[in-house]
Chain A
Amino acid sequence: MSSTLINGLFVFMLAAFIGFEVIRRVSPLLHTPLMSLTNALDAIAVVGAIVLVGRHESRLSYWLGMLAVIAATSNIVGGFLITDRMLKMFKSSRPTKP
């Protein structure tokens, strides 16, 4: 195992802990938007796919990358869009109620 892999494991472990602590505090009220948001953030996998397309190393990697970029981008766009639509609907009764 090289040191980059060890570094990766450290990063994974720390991020998982942060994830647990941060997400435990999310109100159950917002669990649906939370899931669509993490889904959009997860689509950051698009960076790996962009590199595949951009480098164009083989025909196979290019076309698989294309498809992967399309799938991930649709998650980014759709995920942020629907999360925003959902959160816009949550209104409190305390400030000026329509």
Chain B
Amino acid sequence: MNTLPVTQPVIEITYLVASVLFILSLKWMSSPSTARHGIWAGEIGMLLAIGGTLLQHGIVDYTGIAIALVLGTCVGIPLGMVQMTAVPQRTALSHAFGALCVTLVGTAEFYLRSPDIPRFTMAVLSAEVILGSLTFTGSLMAAGKLQEILPQRPLTYKGQNLVNLLFLAVAVAGAGYLVLHPGVREVFPMMMGISLLFGVLMIIPIGGADMPTVISLLNSYAGLSAAAMGFVVDSKLLIIAGALDGSSGFILSVIMSKAMNRSFGNVLFGAFGQVQAAAVAGQEAKTARSATAEEAAAILSAANKVVIIPGYGMAVAQAQHKVRELYDALSKRGVDVRFAIHPVAGRMPGHMNVLLAEADIPYDRLVEMDDINGEFSQTDVALVIGANDVTNPAARTDTSSPIFGMPILDVDKARTVMVIKRSMSPGFAGIDNPLYYLDKTLMLFGDAKSFVNDIVRELAGGGNN
């Protein structure tokens, strides 16, 4: 790669500045007040890096680049305009695109350079292609499950983990062979094909409830494959961006697994949905009390402190805007209303915050689990909307429960608990919730959106009479 002596330092400096801007971009994400600076920093860094790359010696075909950039923009704009409820599948899809880019570049580099590939380069190139391929198909599968094109239930069979590990082992063995014999080109497509297949098999046994962890994990893989590509094409900027993305995905997956009280291995090899089926049995008949919208409105307006616990069911019912009206109506009466956010509420890390922010609920009213749990005992009403397992007190007390040990919102410590729910049927994970049978619990049966609407109407009517 002969580069002109004059432009080379200029290019390197654009990359250096871009790296600084990328790090600042993430640093500014630490708080909502500075976060939008982060986007500008990222955008400027990106433009600088692309500009610098275009100066590189040896680039002759600018038309092709321009066409591809325009086409990519045309694909990107609709992907940036999706609804907020669809952000998890969009994110999974973008992990797939990122991994696709990395895999394609790795493939091109292999066929350009083979058989003269140094061992270390071939090893990193293999890592790039294996990680890229499995992230590509894995993310497509995850997106399909989130979009509900594919069945959400985990599909499992006996010896599944062994079969999956075997596939991965074969892919790694292929990589090992290529490191020693980079001229044997036939091994390359085999290694890639098996990795693509492994990506599919990896996601098949994972249920819908585990999606927040899986998306984060795929994020991490996408970052690592990009970092590996940075080694292959000798780009420090890419190594840095990949390392940042990889560590970000890793941290998020750790947070998500902790919030579900599971280890990484358990998420990947556990097939959560299977375990519960047996645990549901053995419940004696218990009774739950129910209440009408009128009664609920009366209790809420008499309260001083209300905590609303939103779950994905609220988003599915598109009830967040009605919940905002409820928030406004209660705040107007001087009721202190806050929202308790469990880390796995929603389908990806932080998803619930975005859904509530979209409904114009101020972010300082959204409180994380660890900060709000101590306050439930001073809370008059805890209103659960579309959340289930994250409020299940069995996770604290019942050692036989499949979710035992999972951190939950201590909703049962509030003076009164109200749960808006369609019926008594168990939730996503298929576990019965003892919260519903407490004396202080009132079940509000109905669709989240229309029920909240009824409460809002009662509150308004009560004010006029």
Given known A40-B42, A41-B46, A43-B101, contact A35–B216 (CB-CB < 8 A): yes
CB distance from B181 to the nearest CB of A (A): 19
- Place the interface of chain A in its size category: 35 or more
A38 x B245 contact (CB < 8 A): yes
- Interface on chain B toward A: helix, strand, loop, or mixed SS? helix
Chain B residues contacting A32 (CB-CB under 8 Å) are: 87, 91, 348-351, 353-354
Of A23, A52, A71, which one neighbours B247 at CB under 8 angstroms? A23
CB distance from B339 to the nearest CB of A (A): 11
CB distance from B213 to the nearest CB of A (A): 13
User: When each residue 1-43 of chain A gets 1 if its CB lies under 8 Å from chain B and 0 otherwise, what string results?
Assistant: 1101101100110011011101111111111111111111111
A58 x B105 contact (CB < 8 A): no
Given known A33-B29, A41-B42, A89-B358, contact A61–B112 (CB-CB < 8 A): yes
Chain B residues contacting A5 (CB-CB under 8 Å) are: 120-121, 231
B425 interface residue, CB < 8 Å from A?
no
CB distance from A84 to the nearest CB of B (A): 5
B101 x A45 contact (CB < 8 A): yes
B104 x A64 contact (CB < 8 A): yes
The residue of chain A having its C-beta at the shortest distance from the C-beta of B227 within the complex is A12
What's the Cα separation between A76 and B100 when bound, in Å? 14
B61 x A82 contact (CB < 8 A): no
Of B38, B98, B246, which one neighbours A16 at CB under 8 angstroms? B246
B319 interface residue, CB < 8 Å from A?
no
In B346-363, the 8 Å CB interface with A consists of 348-351, 353-354, 357-358, 360, 362-363
What's the Cα separation between A43 and B366 when bound, in Å? 31
Chain A residues contacting B241 (CB-CB under 8 Å) are: 41-42, 44-45
B30 x A26 contact (CB < 8 A): yes
B76 x A75 contact (CB < 8 A): yes
B180 interface residue, CB < 8 Å from A?
no
Of B53, B100, B109, B349, which one neighbours A50 at CB under 8 angstroms? B53
A85 x B31 contact (CB < 8 A): no
In A69-98, the 8 Å CB interface with B consists of 69-94, 97-98
B87 x A36 contact (CB < 8 A): yes
B10 interface residue, CB < 8 Å from A?
no
B30 x A25 contact (CB < 8 A): yes
Given known A42-B223, A71-B98, contact A35–B42 (CB-CB < 8 A): no
B79 interface residue, CB < 8 Å from A?
yes
What's the Cα separation between A32 and B64 when bound, in Å? 34
B249 interface residue, CB < 8 Å from A?
yes
Chain A residues contacting B244 (CB-CB under 8 Å) are: 15-16, 18-19, 22-23, 38, 41
Of A11, A67, A77, A89, which one neighbours B73 at CB under 8 angstroms? A77
A89 x B357 contact (CB < 8 A): yes
Nearest 5 interchain pairs by C-beta: A73-B72, A81-B80, A77-B76, A31-B350, A54-B59
Query: What are 11 inter-chain pairs, A to B, with CB distance below 8 A?
Result: A4-B234, A12-B240, A16-B244, A31-B252, A39-B94, A46-B101, A52-B109, A60-B111, A68-B102, A81-B80, A92-B362
Q: With A72-B101, A81-B76 given, name 5 new contacts (CB 8 A).
A: A36-B87, A41-B22, A41-B42, A50-B53, A51-B58
